[in-house]
Structure 1
Amino acid sequence: MYVRPATAADRAALPAVHTAAVRAFGPEHYDADAVRRWAKPGGRSPADYEPDTDDEHVVVGVRADSVAGFGHLVPIAGEVHAVYVHPDHARHGVGSAVLAELEGYARGRGLDHLSLQSSLNAVGFYERAGYERVGEGESPGGLAVVGMEKGL
């Protein structure tokens, strides 16, 4: 397994990874309607994973010759926007490797802390990686989320 910057070709796989992860892990903490809205079946495209600015960093975790997960960092905001792992590759270190790469990139950019809005099903993952809860809220899509931060 390895992590590298996402290519245009990789972005074609990201909607399926995202949707599969939401459908597999979302029901642990959200009702069926919330999972359906979050998964956005048929509503995501590779363009949704294009960085909006040059100051964004999107990476993929590759395992068994396929995109197993991805992460998205916005250094100017000091914010991790996403870490998703396909359920076929879950609990094999993909998410941890992706997050570690995003944190290393942030350190290289001179950041001393990161923040994120975690879905309820991912809070334990981020806590194991050293993030601490700083509040609760709602995502723009209406999901309950937990604000988290970590010093680098």
Structure 2
Amino acid sequence: MTHSLSLPDDIVLTPYTADDAAAVRALHALAFRHLAAGHHTPAQIAAHEALIAAAEYADDLARSHLILAQHPTAGLVATAGWLEFPERAGTARIRKVFVHPGWARRGLATALVRAAEDAARDAGYPHLYVRANINAVPLYERLGYRRENEGVMPAAGEELPVVYMSRRAD
């Protein structure tokens, strides 16, 4: 089943291209710095920003089937993507879900996660998995993901708390 996406007026979804890398990196850093601040230490936020600035991040973006939410005057306001999760057959990992702080709480994360889920399902992945940053766990719970276990994501010498979650694609 394809989800009906409810997007704010004037938002257009576009696929990621290499030309979008700088804007995507800037959005990811800004969103994490502002929206995750209550759940992470300043050192963890700085480490995450270092991860985003690293050369390898461009390759990570390119392989993540990113969907961009664009506004005609505000520009890039959100992203989400997916990639194959080879550790589990038939599973896609939802990732790179970031929303501009000025656009938070308008349904963009939900709409983009659903768009990424639909794309992954259409590509043949009936199972979904996410390594959710601790601040994003409520979003994924509302979307039907179940907690599997807790862990950490290494980033530039720091460990960021995460929750591993999964669900079956509709």
Which interval holds the TM-score relative to the shorter structure? 0.7 to 0.9
In the TM superposition, residue 121 of structure 1 has moved relative to its aligned partner by 0.5
Identity over aligned pairs, percent: 30
| Aligned position for 1:150 | 167
CA RMSD of aligned residues (A): 2.1
Q: Identify unmatched segments of 5+ residues in structure 2.
A: 1-10, 87-91
Aligned partners of 2:59, 2:135: CA distance in 1, in Å? 22
Whether the aligned pair in 2 keeps the contact of 1:11 and 1:49 (CA below 8 Å) is no
1:3-42 alignment, distance < 5 Å: 3-40=13-50
Confirm whether residue 60 of structure 1 aligns to residue 68 of structure 2: yes
CA, structure 1 residues 28+51, in 2 after alignment: closer, same or farther (shift >3 Å)? same
CA, structure 1 residues 97+42, in 2 after alignment: closer, same or farther (shift >3 Å)? closer
Q: Which has the higher contact order (CA 8 A, sep 6+)?
A: 2
Aligned partners of 1:44, 1:87: CA distance in 2, in Å? 22
The match for 2:81 among 72, 86, 94 is 72
Q: Identify unmatched segments of 5+ residues in structure 1.
A: none
Partner amino acid, structure 2, of 1:104: D
| Aligned position for 2:146 | 132
In the TM superposition, residue 133 of structure 1 has moved relative to its aligned partner by 0.8
Q: Deviations over 1:12-59 (max 9, x none)?
A: 20111001111101221111111121122982567355424xxx4111
Q: Deviations over 1:72-109 (max 9, x none)?
A: 21035411122011111111222112111100001101
Aligned partners of 1:136, 1:41: CA distance in 2, in Å? 21
Confirm whether residue 47 of structure 1 aligns to residue 58 of structure 2: yes
1:53-132 alignment, distance < 5 Å: 56-65=64-73, 66-75=75-84, 77=86, 78-132=92-146
Partner amino acid, structure 1, of 2:122: G
Q: Between Structure 1 and Structure 2, how many residues are aligned?
A: 149
Q: Out of 132-141 and 62-71, give the one that drifted further.
A: 62-71
TM-score, normalising length from structure 1? 0.87
Q: Deviations over 1:105-128 (max 9, x none)?
A: 011012111101001100011111
SS of the aligned residue for 2:110 comes to: helix
Partner amino acid, structure 2, of 1:59: I
